[in-house]
Amino acid sequence: MPLTTQSIELEQHNIPETTLEEEQVHSLFSSIPVSLSATIALDLILSIAQWRVIGHAELILWNSIMLFAICLRITCWFFWRNQNQRIDTAHWLTIFRCGVWLAGAAWGCSAFFMLATFNPTYQALLSFTIAGVTSGSLTTLAIDKQSALGFVVLSVCPLTLRLFMEHGPIALPMGIMSILYIIFVLSASTRARHNLEDQYNKNARLIAWGKERIKLQQLSKSISQAQAQFIKDSDIKNTFPQLLTNILALTESTFGFIGEIFFNKDNQPELKIHTLHSITQDAQLNLFYQKLAQENLVLTDMNNLLGAAILKGKSIISNNTSKDMRGGGMPDGYPALSTFVGIPIFNGTTQVALLGIANKIDGYDEKVVELLKPVTNTIAQFIEATRHAHQQKLYEEKIHNNTKHTKAILDDVFDAIITINQYGKIKSFNHAAETIFGYQEKEIIDTNIDRLIPELLNSNPDIYQTTHSYTIGAGQELSGLRRNGKEFPIDFAISKLSIENEPIYIGVVRDISDRKHNEELKNQFISTVSHELRTPLTSIAGALGILNSGSLGKHADPQQKLIDIALNNSIRLQKLINDLLDMEKLLANKMDLNIVPLCILEMVTKAIEINQMYADKYHVKLKLVSTPKSTQVFGDADRIQQVCANLLSNAAKFSPATGIVEIGINIKGRFARVTITDQGEGIPEGFRTKIFQRFSQADGSDTRIKGGSGLGLAISKELIQRMNGNIGFTPNQQNGCSFFFELPLASKVNDH
């Protein structure tokens, strides 16, 4: 249940707080019934004993005085019991002293009315009676020096004076006794006063400690209530109002607020009030506070006490806000404050909030700041938790939006995108994948990838191990399996990510059925056309060869020139058709190779001899510059000659006139490498990645100077790879280029 001022007062009711005077008055007035009882008893004893010794008139007069004093003290005691809250404590103490002094004077009158003249026995009786009265009274009167001293002086001194006047035998002892009594009264009063003060201080400390414990308990209870509310709602708007109400009750304040501190783009602080509450009897003012609490209050003006607390980062205590030089309390338009405490709240070194309480009647001190430390720490935790929750919500919304955006993109792409875990289980399946394979996403999730691509995991059921057989990021041509059981060709590329230290594989699948079909049609067309052209071209080239040989007679220069042109172009066309047929066989895997051990030096020397005639056309020299000892490699002799012819003809064609093409042979590990280096212009950087592709040429325009089909290097690459070798090139630093091919060694040899 919420804490209120009334509930706290009730809990503190069992630990009353009194002043020293109140304790003194209570003790003195509480002793009146016993004191009066003793007084009445002694009065009766003394009156009966003196009835036949002194005159009756004096006895009756003295008893009348005593009765008046007794009645007056009884009346005071009765009013004190019933009206003690209405009269100030100091007045009650004065009334008691007057009553005691009256009683002392009444006993002092006994020296004039009750003294038996020249009768030592009855004089001693009176003296001992008065001594007993004063001694008994000191047990209670000693706590008030004036009451005790007045009673003793008024009761003992008249008797002492009378005895001296009588020159009786007890006059001197009574005088000495009076002096000793007065000294005793003073010392006893002092000790009693000190004892009372010590006891009072102990009680006051106990009361203060008890109140402090109650406050701490109530504070702990209010914090627990706030934490429970925050855990339930995770909303400070539902948590702060009740917490603030409890704070106001604990600190006896009538107004307070809790605000969160933000910093704008200029790094200037702004205070957003989350809750504002007032405990007053003014209905109109309460309505005004309620209206303020419903508004979205953001305070930007720091020229006030709130701003002083925020800017200094220290607690501000002002018990007279109207005269405080640090500001005018609340900002303009808000209710005035008489006393105020502003406590900045930090999370680490960052200022996150401000707690303000105000209008305590007797003002504030540093103790309230210390008392509220657990509350301010709790508020800091609530603010930080709310900010984290808000930031988390923003992140989640951003992730959700990004996920929707990514999903929309993935669903619109042409290629199938499939994510796979390290065990080959499908974790996501986009719309294109549904279209290509015929499965719905919900049907295929958490099934194995071999359901779609059987040959992917044939060698190893673990995709993590399988990817070692495939090049990450590179495309592989595989066979896919549709839902209807039909196989189809796919281009499959896989990439790897690591999420929370777990590998995730992203497979991109493209249906290449149409492309394969088109390639098959194209290859069939090229094969058909090439075969159909080959026979008539052979006849044409043969006829032109006969004409060019001059066996049918010499021709005039114009005619001979035309024959040369026709013969050269027919040979060129024949080579193109042969290249097309070779490429078609390679792609269809119909080319048979006779791989046997061969002497690489003999093969290269023969190729140089055969192709030197072609190089002579460009005035280029083919030169063998380095050779190892007799080295055997595995390869097909005809195809090695074809590769050498392609590389040598390219080198001669792109070399400058009178240039030299250098051919070298050396051993690289378990391979024999043949390097052909020209002195041409080199390979353009943008063309280097395409140089081994089919129909690729650095100058692809219709006006290019250097001829060629663009198939020579592509055919050479396929042939070398089928002979288990490697082919490549290295651009020279200045000009020219070095092409090389490697073939596996048939036997271990020593380099020259």
pLDDT of residue 279: 75
Which residue, 496, 509, 422, 415, is CA-closest to 457? 422
- Cα dist from 205 to 16, 181, 208, 251, 298, whole Å: 12, 35, 5, 19, 44
Burial of 730 (0-12, 13-18, 19+ CB in 10 A): exposed
- The angle formed by the CA atoms of residues 447, 451 and 452, to the nearest 5 degrees, is 115
Look up residue 633 and give its DSSP letter.
E
Return the structure tokens found at 491.
Answer: 């281009």
Q: What is the mean pLDDT of the chain?
A: 78
pLDDT of residue 175: 65
Q: pLDDT tens digits for 356-371?
A: 888 888 889 888 888 8
Q: pLDDT tens digits for 664-710?
A: 999 988 999 999 998 888 787 766 777 777 655 545 444 344 545 56
CB 204 within 8 A of CB 175: no
pLDDT of residue 383: 87
pLDDT of residue 186: 67
Buried-exposed string 139-161: b where 16+ CB fall within 10 A, e elsewhere: ebbbbbbebbbbbbbbbbbbbbb
Instruction: Give the model's confidence band at 463: pLDDT under 50 very low, under 70 low, under 90 confident, else very high.
Output: low
Q: Which residues contact 337 (CB under 8 A, 6 or more apart)?
A: 255, 305, 321, 329, 330, 358, 359
**H-run or E-run covering 426:** strand 426-429
Residue 114 has pLDDT above 70, yes or no: yes
Which residue, 10, 146, 22, is CA-closest to 84? 22
- Give residue for tokens 């003992």: 156
CB atoms within 10 A of CB 695: 11
CB 172 within 8 A of CB 126: no
Which residue, 643, 619, 655, is CA-closest to 732? 655
* Amino acid letter for position 48: I
Distance CA 16, CA 207 (A): 7
Instruction: Give the model's confidence band at 116: pLDDT under 50 very low, under 70 low, under 90 confident, else very high.
Output: confident
Look up residue 425 and give its DSSP letter.
B
Q: pLDDT tens digits for 21-77?
A: 777 788 888 888 888 888 888 888 888 888 877 778 888 888 888 898 889 888 888
Distance CA 698, CA 684 (A): 7
Residue 317 has pLDDT above 80, yes or no: yes
Distance CA 654, CA 615 (A): 10
Pick the more confident residue, 577 or 453.
Answer: 453
Residue 485 has pLDDT above 80, yes or no: yes
Distance CA 722, CA 636 (A): 10
Helical H runs in 654-711? none
**H-run or E-run covering 429:** strand 426-429
Question: Ramachandran region of residue 79, left (φ > 0), alpha (ψ -120 to 50) or beta?
Answer: alpha
Instruction: Determine which of 90-94, 121-125, 418-422 has the lowest per-residue pLDDT on average.
Output: 121-125
CB 531 within 8 A of CB 582: no
Return the structure tokens found at 639.
Answer: 């195809």
Return the structure tokens found at 177.
Answer: 């006794």
CB 619 within 8 A of CB 658: yes
Distance CA 141, CA 134 (A): 9
Q: Which residues contact 317 (CB under 8 A, 6 or more apart)?
A: 340, 341, 364, 365, 366, 369
Residue 293 has pLDDT above 90, yes or no: no
Instruction: Give the model's confidence band at 343: pLDDT under 50 very low, under 70 low, under 90 confident, else very high.
Output: very high
pLDDT of residue 741: 93
Q: pLDDT tens digits for 608-632?
A: 998 898 888 889 999 998 887 778 9
pLDDT of residue 327: 60
Query: Angle of helix 712-722 relative to helix 637-653, nearest 10 degrees?
Result: 150
Return the structure tokens found at 110.
Answer: 């006994």
CB 72 within 8 A of CB 105: no
pLDDT of residue 344: 93
Instruction: Give the model's confidence band at 9: pLDDT under 50 very low, under 70 low, under 90 confident, else very high.
Output: very low
Residue 464 has pLDDT above 70, yes or no: no
Residue 262 has pLDDT above 80, yes or no: yes
pLDDT of residue 123: 73
- Cα dist from 262 to 250, 259, 266, 527, 594, whole Å: 28, 10, 11, 78, 82
Pick the more confident residue, 493 or 569.
Answer: 493
- The angle formed by the CA atoms of residues 261, 252 and 334, to the nearest 5 degrees, is 45
Distance of CA 99 to the CA centre of its chain: 76
Which residue, 43, 46, 38, is CA-closest to 123? 46
Distance CA 596, CA 581 (A): 24
* Percent of the chain at pLDDT exceeding 90: 7
Residue 635 has pLDDT above 80, yes or no: yes
* DSSP-derived secondary structure for 143-181: TSHHHHHHHHHHHHHHHHHHHHHHT-TTHHHHHHHHHHH
Look up residue 415 and give its DSSP letter.
S
Distance CA 100, CA 92 (A): 12
Instruction: Give the model's confidence band at 744: pLDDT under 50 very low, under 70 low, under 90 confident, else very high.
Output: very high
Q: Which residues contact 513 (CB under 8 A, 6 or more apart)?
A: 488, 489
Residue 5 has pLDDT above 60, yes or no: no
Distance CA 326, CA 308 (A): 7
- Cα dist from 506 to 419, 454, 498, whole Å: 4, 17, 11
Instruction: Determine which of 27-36, 80-89, 528-537, 620-629 has the lowest per-residue pLDDT on average.
Output: 528-537
- Cα dist from 607 to 30, 264, 321, whole Å: 139, 80, 108
**Average of pLDDT values for 396-409?**
76
Q: Which residues contact 279 (CB under 8 A, 6 or more apart)?
A: 5, 245, 248, 249, 253, 254, 255
Residue 323 has pLDDT above 60, yes or no: yes
Instruction: Give the model's confidence band at 740: pLDDT under 50 very low, under 70 low, under 90 confident, else very high.
Output: very high
Instruction: Give the model's confidence band at 476: pLDDT under 50 very low, under 70 low, under 90 confident, else very high.
Output: confident
Distance CA 609, CA 657 (A): 19
Return the structure tokens found at 186.
Answer: 């003073």
CB 419 within 8 A of CB 508: no
Q: pLDDT tens digits for 205-242?
A: 776 677 777 777 888 888 888 888 888 878 887 888 88
**Average of pLDDT values for 276-294?**
64
Helix, strand, coil shares of the chain as percentages rounded to 5?
Answer: 55, 15, 25
Distance of CA 366 to the CA centre of its chain: 33
Instruction: Give the model's confidence band at 121: pLDDT under 50 very low, under 70 low, under 90 confident, else very high.
Output: confident
Residue 245 has pLDDT above 90, yes or no: no
- Cα dist from 413 to 409, 453, 480, 506, whole Å: 6, 20, 19, 15
pLDDT of residue 331: 55
Strands 621-626 vs 660-668: parallel, antiparallel or unpaired: parallel
Residue 468 has pLDDT above 50, yes or no: no
